[in-house]
Structure 1
Amino acid sequence: MPRLPQPTPEELRRDPLPLRGRTALVTGASRRAGIGYAVARRLAAYGAAVYLHHHVPHDADMPWGADRVEEVVAGVRAALGDPGAPVADGPADLSDPAAPAELITRAAEALGGRIDILVANHALSGSDGTLEAVDAAMLDAHWAVDTRSVLLLVQAYARLRAGLPSGTPGGRVVMMTSGQDLGDGMPGEIAYALQKGALASVTRSLSTALAEHAVTVNTVNPGPVDTDYLTGDAYEAVAARFPAGRWGMPDDPARLVAWLATDEAAWITGQVIGSEGGFRR
């Protein structure tokens, strides 16, 4: 098999809009303090058209509350690197087994019939506990949202990509995990740790399954990220465990996710990649 030629000088020069012409679906992008919003803004800034998934009732039930969807969409639209790229949005309760495939269909229709980049960022907050406290309902709730829905999203995405011409570039899947296998793990969030661990474990299998569609699959561990869920002494204690003396901010993992979506990361697949800023567990 002939060796690939070395890149030309022109190819080595970074395109300021490396995702121009690409399309992306980002789930769990309903809070301006969240990772999903930061990822969507980065993808948009790189030139991609973006569809934002949100489930406002989930955030409304949390201590941090829900943002107005219109403001979230406007923030992503303001970051567009390609002014002609559309930004669309829609709700979905991904605990419903039918919702993932329906979301893929709606997003593809809004983005011109194709999804290149799938970022499965959503997760269930709360409804969890220690080994002593966890019960079947907690386990089932996290399984449905954190794991089952992600696998069904990837399945529907793969079926969509299979209908494209062979070798269509830009196919990317990025999932999110939580470092549950590092340090002391997450003994206070057994259900969440279990389901996020499943995504990390299945990354290599999914990358092999989607290779025939020219799609890479990677999972990102963002580490502790300041999404407005912790304050006071506990917040400062976590900050002190980073060499930089600060928490990760949503744009920190967003930069990694956006890079994985570009052609520069085309040779990276089947990996669980940490973006933890040297966090000491």
Structure 2
Amino acid sequence: MPRLPHPTPEQLRRDPLPLRGRTALVTGASRRGGIGHAVARRLAAHGAGVYLHHHVPHDAAMPWGADDPEAVAASVREAQGDPDAPVLTGPGDLSDPAVPAELVDRAAEALGGRLDILVANHALSGSDGTLDTIDAAMLDAHWAVDARSVVLLVQAYARQRQRPRGGRVVMMTSGQDHGGGMPGEIAYALQKGALASITRSLSTTLAEHGITVNTVNPGPVDTDYLTGDAYDAVAARFPSGRWGMPDDPARLIAWLATDEAGWITGQVIDSEGGFRR
């Protein structure tokens, strides 16, 4: 095989809208304080049309409460690089095994008939415990949302791809393989660990279609779930003295969606600012 030529000067110049004309589904983009919202803003700023998935009942049951999905979408529209690219939002309970495929089909149709980028950011919060306190219901609930639904989303995404090359899948894990693990959240850690482990297999499966698959560990990110002394103790474990902000992993995820990251696949990538465990 002949060697590829060096990029031309024109190819080396960065396109300010590297995702113009492309479309993305971001799951778990239901709160303006969350990572999904930050990812959607970055993708929109790069020119992509974006479909924001939400499941308001989940957030309403959490201490941080629910946000208004339309307000989240409006915030993403403020960041649009291409005013003609759509920003849409819709619900979906991903614990239902039929919903991942329905969501992919709905997002693709709403965005003009195809889906180029899938960012599986959603997760189940709560309903977890230590090895001594977990039960089958907790394990099943986290399996359904944190792992099974992600694989079904990737399956549906791969089936609907109409372009022959250049798709992007980004999944999320939580650093449970580092340091002391997550002994207080066994069910969550188990399923997020499964995504890290399946990354290589999915990337190999989809490589012939030009689809890259990567998983991002964002580290501790300030999404409004911790305050007080506990918050300060975590901040002190970063060399910078601050938590990660939602836009920190969002910048990496948005880059992985561009052509510049076309040679990166099958990787679990840490984006956690040197966090010391």
Q: CA 1:28/1:165 → structure 2, altered by over 3 Å: closer, same or farther?
A: closer
Which residue number in structure 2 is paired with residue 22 of structure 1? 22
In the alignment, the residues of structure 2 paired with residue 166 and residue 89 of structure 1 have an alpha-carbon distance, to the nearest angstrom, of: 26
User: Which amino acid in the other structure matches residue 50 of structure 1?
Assistant: V
Instruction: Say if 2:234 is the partner of 1:238.
Output: yes
**Distance (whole Å) between structure 2 residues aligned to residue 75 and residue 165 of structure 1:** 29
Q: Distance in 1 between matches of 2:242 and 2:163?
A: 46
| TM-score, length-scaled by structure 1 | 0.98
Unaligned runs of 5+ in 1: none
Q: Which residue of 1 aligns with 2:77?
A: 77
Q: Residues 15-37 of structure 1: CA distance to partner in whole angstroms, max 9, x if unpaired?
A: 01000001000000000000000
Match of 1:255 among 248, 251, 256: 251
Q: What residue number does 1:115 align with?
A: 115
Deviation at 1:165, TM superposition (A): 4.5
Matched, 1:166 2:164: yes
> What is the letter of the counterpart of residue 149 of structure 1?
S
Equivalent residue letter for 2:81: G
**Aligned with 1:52: secondary structure?**
strand
Matched residue, 1:223: 219
Structure 1 178/158 Cα, relative in aligned 2: closer, same or farther at 3 Å?
A: same
User: C-alpha offsets along residues 197-231 of structure 1, whole Å, 9 cap, x if unaligned?
Assistant: 00000000000001111100000000000000000
Q: Which letter does structure 1 place at the counterpart of 2:43?
A: L
Q: 2:270 aligns with which of 271, 274, 278?
A: 274
Question: Could you list the runs of 5+ residues in structure 2 that have no partner in the other structure?
Answer: none
Instruction: Spell out structure 1 runs of 4+ moving beyond 4 A.
Output: none
Letter in 2 for 1:214: G
SS of the residue corresponding to residue 205 of structure 2 reads helix
Aligned residue number for residue 211 of structure 1: 207
Is the partner of 1:63 in helix, strand or coil? coil
Find the aligned partners of 1:49 and 1:127 in 2 and give their Cα distance: 34
Aligned residues: 277
Taking the aligned partners of 2:89 and 2:120, their CA distance within structure 1 comes to 15
Distance 1:24 1:71 in 2: 19
In 2, the alpha carbon distance for the partners of 1:73 and 1:13 equals: 31
Q: Mapping of 1:59-74 within 5 angstroms? A: 59-74=59-74
The one-letter code of the counterpart of 1:92 is G
Q: In the alignment, does 2:154 pair up with 1:147?
A: no
Pairing 1:183–2:183 present: no
Secondary structure of the residue aligned to 2:169 is strand
Cα distance in 2 for residues equivalent to 1:97 and 1:201:
21
Distance in 2 between the 1:146 and 1:87 partners?
Answer: 25
RMSD of the alignment, in Å? 0.6
**TM-superposed deviation, 1:166:** 2.9
Which SS does the other structure have where 1:197 is aligned?
helix
Residue equivalent to 1:58: 58
Q: TM-score, normalised by structure 2?
A: 0.99
SS state at 1:157 partner: helix
